[in-house]
Structure 1
């Protein structure tokens, strides 16, 4: 009751990142450290000898609310403080008075990371004890994607109209001037007309560019064949692996295949460094916002995603994060309502209860990845049932252990009109789809007060 809940997200996080980040260009110098010289002890960012990508053995601090260095264990992207604890609890756990029992060698791991992320890590207590190799870049470009982003951002802003809160001719002129001075975005007042289609296209162009540099090259491909000779060519091709052959008609088949690993050819635009540098720089933007909240008295981090952050702060205190209308600024979600309650059940699964500022009307928002929230589904899976489910899971299960559907908060829903495609016959069907929602926290330990503690906290 004494706190407010704020839900903020970045205005075009990835476009703003590639527009303002200095990128490595050209060929790197490869430095392989001899075995006798691998032992180091870095505790400050100034000790990093190269600018680029480094492979190191890293030791996280024993206590840190917002960890910096990511690692992937068991297909989980984690930000842990201990390798052993992360592997010991693949599905998380509910442990009273949890404390990590492991030593430094057990807690640390080998990480291949960017120098900019490693700098942030060393500044908050991480240590590097071994240095294996590095890709050092001597050439850097501050404007690699700036013109591209400015062009399509102008189209997006034109198609969106002036942001909420920018009212009056003077404020609108100031907004256009700031866009030009900060990002080189040239805006014209007469083009500021809402256009959903153009906005969608420009947004797609802005968000898709960096990903084109890391397209997966080994995905399966399908081809329709109606000629025996063509089928024989595929069958005799030693560079591919045929995965399936399905009959479509009397004259045609659908052949699915993929390239064998040793024959995979990189895409013409492949440049993994561009993509990993983009995601690394974007993570730092989110990290700094989360650190600011964590360092503010009375504030609590509640949830974070790729480009958003949800937290609480005292009512008598201003929000620790500033919002703005520009590219890369933070903006409020659900303007016009006050979030009264938040319930988090898993990654990309949460519920919000909100009150309208106009008429005090209560509304709820439920987000559950993988489940389409139709009217039939929402009769069973709604804010109250979601909240009860999460509390049951957090407390170690439910009172009635014989009821499998509700063991540890499980909720089973059925969509009677799920649309399913069949590629073999080209038809679309309406079928029944049964799905199970179960809260699960795989990225930390649930403590006594229902907060999530990082793996490795001491």
Structure 2
């Protein structure tokens, strides 16, 4: 109940503060759809099957269309059920969703007596991924309410970004072209309920945005009336045009009365008391003799009293309107904001006891029955699923290991965790390498059975997990925090061990041998062949090293013993990396890195503590964030010529840090402006810029003769929103400096509105320190790695999505209460019978997030500006561009190349032969340091090695390259990870 009360308090405090009810529709709220897609894409499946048991329903994967009705299956230890459509739809449309909803309700009436039910709609793609397309709703078998529920669910399809919400990157075959609707099956996750305490929630899905009734200009009489907060104010300085004007004090003052406003049964008098001077009028405004705001009208043309500047001040905030010949041509107001604050606290670390524990899981794959998909029976085939077989825990002094069985691993893992549920470990951080996407999937439900679990998640990643527990005969709560070391040191443990000069290095292990289920875990015998060691490690684990390793064993290689040894070495190696990293960060910046879950959050904390100036960087909240984020694009990534010879590759030295150091950033209080650019320039005080510094909504016209366009925009496609660099005309938000750069190359812009900022250099000292460290450190040293990491991680933190969610793992009963009392809830039943609840909360309920998307957007724009120089200068010679690198068939000018100078190009290599099929899909032949001709192939989304000749075949007309690789599918609801064959198609 404590978690429910906490959520209620947060929402109640927010509502009371703003005196409004939050109106939030699944598709009508203003959200950045790229982050929205990332969030939906990572939501776990709600299928409640335990593949470790033999209770798998044979009908679950049926794709037959013979039956007009789906089937219902319950989950073990849960009151939640799943309805699965029998038919596989191509595409899933509003009609098919309505069809299945009616079929579900018909079946529901036969099996359940309760009239009401909780329900969520989901889609199962033809690659077996499952995505939620609604939050939990309260449905009913009542005929009228069924129609409302159908209308609500079908309204989802009406949103232009629906395809993105359910898109699968690189798997366009999952969608029906050209309509972009997904193919697959429909699922309803539901639970019968008696007399829910709230009315049906599907009304929220169909709600419309409120119309702003307080328009600045009256549409009824635009020449004579001007409205402010609903109050009509004459739009002229000619007082003879004001109603009921009375002059007093020798015409030095005037009073305008009798503006009557009816409110209910009360009549209210709006009064203007005017002080008249030669150049301006000052006008306090009273409502029933109570001051509500004041006006200052300043004359601009002595011969035309309808051309003037009006400033309205309310609550110490000014709004400025400029009229010419009675027509409003300019408007501006400051946007209320706070500022990102410095960190002033002093972290203290006891390096004799850094309070760090490291944990590692090793898993074994077990085969499951293949899933029949598609006409060939191959696509989407799931081969196996994982279960944890070994867990090792290291506290800096000794390591403990636990071996699990397939049938009882959950109980055995619970007992293993009890070994660190001790008073002496209170407040410790428990790190695993890839907790967010791997270890945490197995662990999170287990911990929920032992105590209170509070995950902190963003975009589907478990950034941090707080675990509270009690000990026998004690009421006090103790805490462990589970963290992902991969989020703060994003590299393989093997590389990190080398970077930080570990005493214990990550070892090698034949994972493929372990996953061979014909081999017993008790195997003792010959050392497994070299082929069983993963390809990722065989780069350094050469055949010679393997022979040396295998030679240590004389038919006594013990699988269980070597597995435990391998797992324990991983925990020790990770511990040494983390303690070394913690000390270095503290010695240099006086920051405890264990307080920050990700490397961007750590880089941001270092900046705030050591370099941030007070009242400089505005803390941008959700409404303004969502507007300016439309100007936030990634780098230019385009293919121009698909093949060539003698192609040189260049890369910019630290592109984003270059932009941060040398260019001004958005600071101060944001100022909203509306009007044509000439009026914005004319009426903004102290502006000498051709385009005042800020972000603008503009209509764009690209020059049709431009060979390589470079101004980005977004396009909705069947596979989601894509960034493109088009010709033609469109509308969008852009940074002023990027607009100015585009104008040099013939782009034309029509300005409508914008947000202006002050200019400040704010990263110079920070970047100077880190870049000098990088420049003077050997590439194999820890500080080279750390400085590069910190430099490249800071800018994105400013653009963090302000929308949040409260994640709670609780009992099913408490989960029902949350669904009944909270809006916009999604639910994941867990194997334990507990449920994971996600509640969308407004940004204000989360307090001060310290974000400023204008910073991130400006840095990204400066980087594109820098690359556009090379794109245009070497237009005839450029073959490929990718954010911070280019491939050309000539040498760049010498003054543009310097491997040590920030922002200059760095020569990488020359491709004797080059081929490319598209962005991030290219390869070629080049000579290595020993003069040997080798292959280089880069393939987006493909982790295995593709021969260069195979890549070249893709250049042949109508030739397709179809590849298959193993892909993880994480199922938090089942505490497991599936391995499936993923098919990639390159045209």
TM class by smaller structure = 0.5 to 0.7
Q: 1:244 maps to which residue?
A: 827
| Maintained 8 Å contact 1:218/1:258 | no
Q: Within 2, Cα distance between the matches of 1:135 and 1:5?
A: 43
Q: Residues 388, 3 of structure 1: CA spacing in aligned structure 2 closer, same or farther, 3 A cutoff?
A: closer
Q: Residues 219, 355 of structure 1: CA spacing in aligned structure 2 closer, same or farther, 3 A cutoff?
A: farther
Gaps of 5+ in 2: 1-642, 681-687
For residue 937 of structure 2, the aligned residue among 353, 357, 366 is 366
Q: How does 1:285-364 map onto structure 2 within 5 Å?
A: 285-294=866-875, 299-313=876-890, 321-334=896-909, 338-356=910-928, 358-359=930-931, 361-364=932-935
Q: 1:438 maps to which residue?
A: 986
1:27 alignment partner, SS class: strand
Q: Residues 199, 323 of structure 1: CA spacing in aligned structure 2 closer, same or farther, 3 A cutoff?
A: closer
For residue 141 of structure 1, the aligned residue among 738, 760, 770 is 760
Q: Give the Å deviation of 1:116.
A: 1.0
Q: How does 1:46-445 map onto structure 2 within 5 Å?
A: 48-74=690-716, 75-82=721-728, 108-128=729-749, 130-137=750-757, 139-142=758-761, 144-161=762-779, 194-196=780-782, 198-218=783-803, 222-226=807-811, 228-229=813-814, 231-232=815-816, 234-238=818-822, 240-250=823-833, 252-255=834-837, 257-259=838-840, 268-294=849-875, 299-313=876-890, 321-334=896-909, 338-356=910-928, 358-359=930-931, 361-373=932-944, 378=945, 381-392=946-957, 397=958, 409-415=959-965, 418-429=967-978, 431-439=979-987
Q: Residues 301, 420 of structure 1: CA spacing in aligned structure 2 closer, same or farther, 3 A cutoff?
A: same
What does the per-residue CA deviation read over 1:344-376, in whole Å, with 9 as the maximum and x for residues that have no partner? 1122111122134643x2211111111111xxx
What does the per-residue CA deviation read over 1:143-173, in whole Å, with 9 as the maximum and x for residues that have no partner? x011222233344345435xxxxxxxxxxxx
| Maintained 8 Å contact 1:293/1:320 | no
Q: Within 2, Cα distance between the matches of 1:287 and 1:121?
A: 9
**What is the count of residue pairs matched by the alignment?**
334
1:268 alignment partner, SS class: coil
Q: Residues 221, 323 of structure 1: CA spacing in aligned structure 2 closer, same or farther, 3 A cutoff?
A: farther
Q: Within 2, Cα distance between the matches of 1:136 and 1:437?
A: 45
| Maintained 8 Å contact 2:645/2:911 | no
What does the per-residue CA deviation read over 1:100-149, in whole Å, with 9 as the maximum and x for residues that have no partner? xxxxxxxx222321121111111111223x32113233x3112x011222
Q: Within 1, Cα distance between the matches of 2:677 and 2:972?
A: 54
Q: Within 2, Cα distance between the matches of 1:36 and 1:145?
A: 32
| Maintained 8 Å contact 2:714/2:724 | yes
Q: Residues 352, 278 of structure 1: CA spacing in aligned structure 2 closer, same or farther, 3 A cutoff?
A: same
Q: Give the Å deviation of 1:32.
A: 0.9
Q: Give the Å deviation of 1:13.
A: 0.9
Answer with 1 or 2: which has the greater Rg. Answer: 2
| Maintained 8 Å contact 1:412/1:434 | no
Q: Give the Å deviation of 1:232.
A: 4.7
2:878 alignment partner, SS class: strand
274-283 or 350-359, larger mean C-alpha shift: 350-359
What does the per-residue CA deviation read over 1:211-258, in whole Å, with 9 as the maximum and x for residues that have no partner? 1111123366644324744x35532442x42223222314x3333x24
Q: Within 2, Cα distance between the matches of 1:54 and 1:313?
A: 37
| TM-score normalised according to structure 2 size | 0.31
Q: Within 1, Cα distance between the matches of 2:880 and 2:818?
A: 49
For residue 27 of structure 1, the aligned residue among 650, 657, 669 is 669
What does the per-residue CA deviation read over 1:49-82, in whole Å, with 9 as the maximum and x for residues that have no partner? 4222222222111211232321112222111112
Q: Within 2, Cα distance between the matches of 1:206 and 1:34?
A: 38
1:160 alignment partner, SS class: coil
Q: Aligned Cα RMSD in Å? A: 3.2
| Maintained 8 Å contact 1:217/1:267 | no
Gaps of 5+ in 1: 39-45, 83-107, 162-193, 398-408, 440-458
| Maintained 8 Å contact 2:693/2:759 | no
Q: Give the Å deviation of 1:7.
A: 0.7
Q: Within 1, Cα distance between the matches of 2:847 and 2:747?
A: 36
Q: Within 1, Cα distance between the matches of 2:902 and 2:773?
A: 13
Q: Residues 357, 153 of structure 1: CA spacing in aligned structure 2 closer, same or farther, 3 A cutoff?
A: closer
| TM-score normalised according to structure 1 size | 0.65
Q: 2:275 maps to which residue?
A: none
Q: Within 2, Cα distance between the matches of 1:111 and 1:227?
A: 46
What does the per-residue CA deviation read over 1:259-294, in whole Å, with 9 as the maximum and x for residues that have no partner? 167977686122121111111111111111222212
Q: How does 1:28-47 map onto structure 2 within 5 Å?
A: 28-33=670-675
Q: Residues 64, 158 of structure 1: CA spacing in aligned structure 2 closer, same or farther, 3 A cutoff?
A: same
